[in-house]
Amino acid sequence: MVRVSFGAAAAPAAQHLMTALCGRQLAARQAVYTPFLDPHGAILDRGIALYFPAPHSYTGEHVLELQGHGGPVVMQLLLQSCLAAGAAFGVRLAEPGEFTRRAFLNDKLDLAQAEAVADLIEASTEAAARSAGRSLDGAFSRDIHVLVEAVVTLRMLVEATLDFPEEEIDFLEAADARGKLAKIRADLAQVQRDARHGALLREGLSVVLAGQPNVGKSSLLNALAGAELAIVTPIAGTTRDKVAQTIQIEGIPLHIIDTAGLRDTEDEVERIGIARSWQEIDRADVILHLLDARIGQTPEDHQIAARFTGGVPVVRILNKTDLLGAEPSIAQAADGASEVRLSAKSGAGIDLLRAELLRLAGWQTGTESLYLARERHLIALRAAGDHLATAAELADQNAQALDLFAEELRLAQTQFNSITGEFSSDDLLGVIFSRFCIGK
Please tell me the predicted confidence (pLDDT) of residue 124. Answer: 73
The CA distances from residue 398 to 21, 34, 174, 197, 390, in Å, are 69, 72, 12, 37, 13
Of 41, 397, 369, which is closest to residue 196 (Cα–Cα)?
A: 369
Query: Do residues 237 and 270 lie in contact, with contact meaning Cβ atoms separated by under 8 Å?
Result: yes
Q: Do domains 2-93 and 126-200+374-434 have the same CATH topology?
A: no
Distance in angstroms (rounded) separating the CA atoms of residues 151 and 60: 30
Domain 208-361's class?
Answer: alpha beta
β-partners of residue 274 are none
Helix axes 217-225, 350-361, angle to 10 degrees: 80
Of 19, 120, 4, 139, which is closest to residue 59 (Cα–Cα)?
A: 4
Please tell me the predicted confidence (pLDDT) of residue 252. Answer: 80
Domain ranges for the chain: 2-93, 126-200+374-434, 208-361
Residues of the chain with pLDDT under 50: 168, 227, 229-241
Please tell me the predicted confidence (pLDDT) of residue 90. Answer: 87
Three-state DSSP state, 23: coil
Please tell me the predicted confidence (pLDDT) of residue 409. Answer: 93
Three-state DSSP state, 416: helix
Please tell me the predicted confidence (pLDDT) of residue 235. Answer: 38
Please tell me the predicted confidence (pLDDT) of residue 431. Answer: 59
Please tell me the predicted confidence (pLDDT) of residue 172. Answer: 61
Residues 6+ apart with CB under 8 A from 206: 255, 257, 280, 283, 284, 285, 286
Q: What is the DSSP string of 362-413?
A: TPPTT---SS---HHHHHHHHHHHHHHHHHHHHHTTGGGGHHHHHHHHHHHH
Confirm or reject CATH 1.20.120.430 for domain 126-200+374-434, answering yes or no.
yes
Give me the CATH code for the 2-93 domain, please. 3.30.1360.120
Distance in angstroms (rounded) separating the CA atoms of residues 286 and 301: 17
Please tell me the predicted confidence (pLDDT) of residue 400. Answer: 65
